[in-house]
Structure 1
């Protein structure tokens, strides 16, 4: 086997160098603090767990997402987490099962997937978010969306778009107003937005769901007109309540049949986008958690990804780096650090302040611009 070239990393993994590494840390801190101000307490799960336990947590977890290792202590297979939400669910249903509900938890840290996707070529990502366990009602959904918007605002994301979806829309309609021969087949055809496929499957009555996607006001009007049997009445009322609560904090769109990545959500799913950011910056929705005794508990939450924010240049601050010569008063340097300066101490007379990235030089007791 040929030797690995120095500095070569596996596909989908990368180093974050200055100033991006500092920006990533700063953004994660800002987001966690913003979430915490709404009463969400942070938990910190381990990087790896037993594979079977991790897979059983949420229906969205897929075995192909897991990077596995064999634990030399237990001789059992471990999996590195590809998502933090599943681990937060385990904590909520085991370690914190007796805590009062609704239970508000926050999290942040790295996740690692076994393979990348076209939309996300990175396999290692920094994920942060919040989960509200014990309720999935409209009020809970509104709170979680507001928390997500506050977190994005704290990170400097502007012109946010909130895209709402109704993951269980086919089941609701098929069970009452619009029965179809095969519910799952109809869902798959709607995933592909295939009008011809709907007609061939005897589900052409569902075509208005495809054409209804778009800006919230137009989409809701189309869905109200389509919902002749009022089967979606409660869902549409909930969407209207969310739109009213969000107000002008985000542009809102509705795609009632979007299920990609929302397979485990119950009645609501949402995606978040920001100006200048590539792809989704976050997503969330309502779902159920399975307790060890077999009963399910409602929950709603969201996850944000830090990496697109870093790539867009967010989280960077103007550097104030002062060069401290060998003969400078070290007590002055200490005072400057307290005041927010970054000090770069000379080690030799040959040290070059400009080459070391300094913006100032300590002269006497005052930093002077270079």
Structure 2
């Protein structure tokens, strides 16, 4: 027996998906434009990858996502499985390594568009999110990191964000130490990572002396300068094993303005699965969770090799919901029989005009702030 499903109400959307209505849709576009204009002023050129790609090629580049975590469909043309992008960084890497493989390096690219996740989380219940960012391809040097971090800060400030915190991390620090001065068996590396992520000193101690050697890294977290001193002490005890990483972090932090709060958590790995020597999360006062992240990583070239890269992604939806990007528009109501030439001139001055289609139209009801009285705008 076939059980019929009740009809879907016309306004109902799938869980985690929503419409953006006026004025939020306009605010979203405005905020994204401010970010893109800022990164463009530093030489980043925009690319626009498609919303979906072949699942095989997308998952090959998404080191932090599994195929079963992607929203997939079957392409009726190729009869192959497609995946809707959960992240645009991997797509930019594909573009750089194929269509722009012969472009001069370092290659600066920017992007903006929606991404969709199969599942949401408790902090961010939405499954569709706006992602805006920039990628610097061809180098993962300290100079590149300095540029990326400061462009990200400048972009957020251009969007009106204040109270910014940058939290630095060294995503591959445990792998580096485990392969060198603090050796660990392969089966113990994930346990040590879990203990460090939870800041659980007892768990590390229970794993034995080799794992306990990582305990000082728990203390090397917190406000940047104090945490860096503790990290430097740990490095000195290991014969300077991570001095180059420390010098890199110092150089990245040096040009950042005094109004930006800096913190350090050298072993943070959540969300940094594909970054290597350097990563950072971006927070802002009044918002729960991060509003962006970035760092160094490697993209897969067409020949199977890897190319160094650096970048950041912003997820501005919480900012938009909080009112960032919103502006009171100058909407001018044009009554029937208005002067069309004068209306055109006013649009050139920045007015948004709403023309009456009949004498019954009311400017105030149509959310206009002014009406055209002869040749001059008048406030309602």
Which interval holds the TM-score relative to the shorter structure? over 0.9
Q: Note if 1:309 corresponds to 2:350.
A: no
Query: Which stretches of structure 1, 4 residues or more, deviate above 3 A after TM superposition?
Result: none
Q: Deviations over 1:65-114 (max 9, x none)?
A: 31111111100000111100010010111111111111111111111111
Q: CA deviation at 1:218?
A: 0.8
Which shifted more, 48-57 or 172-181? 172-181
1:284 Cα deviation from its structure 2 partner: 0.5
* Cα distance in 2, alignment partners of residues 322 and 247 from structure 1: 41
In the aligned structure 2, how far is the partner of 1:180 from the partner of 1:56? Answer: 28
Say what the alpha-carbon RMSD is for the aligned residues.
1.2
Partner of 2:256, secondary structure, is helix
User: Residue 40 in 1 paired to residue 48 in 2?
Assistant: no
Name the SS of the counterpart of 2:148 in structure 1: helix
Cα displacement string for residues 335-359 of structure 1 (whole angstroms, at most 9, x for unaligned residues): 1111111111112222222111111
**Structure 1 residue 184: Cα displacement:** 2.6
For structure 1, the 5+ residue unaligned runs are none
Q: In the alignment, what sits opposite 2:234?
A: 226
Q: What is the deviation of 1:289?
A: 1.0
Shift of 1:225: 1.6
Aligned with 2:190 (options 184, 193, 213)? 184
TM-score, length-scaled by structure 1: 0.97
Which blocks of at least 5 consecutive residues in structure 2 are unaligned?
Answer: none
**Partner Cα separation in structure 2 for residue 362 and residue 166 of structure 1:** 59
- The separation in 1 between residues aligned to 2:298 and 2:65, in whole angstroms, is 14
Q: Write the mapping of 1:1-370 to structure 2, written as runs, cut at 5 A.
A: 1-181=5-185, 182-202=188-208, 203-227=211-235, 228-229=237-238, 230-370=240-380
The CA distance in 2 between the partners of 1:52 and 1:204, in whole Å, is 41
- TM superposition score normalised by structure 2: 0.95
How far 1:331 moved relative to its partner?
1.5
1:140: how far off? 0.6
Aligned length in residues: 370
Following superposition, the deviation at residue 249 of structure 1 comes to: 4.7
Paired with 2:69 and 2:294, the residues of 1 have a C-alpha distance of 19
What per-residue deviation string (whole Å, max 9, x for no partner) do you get for residues 17-75 of structure 1? 11000000111111111111111111111111000000001311322331111111100
Cα distance, 1:177 vs structure 2? 2.4
SS in 2 for 1:245: coil
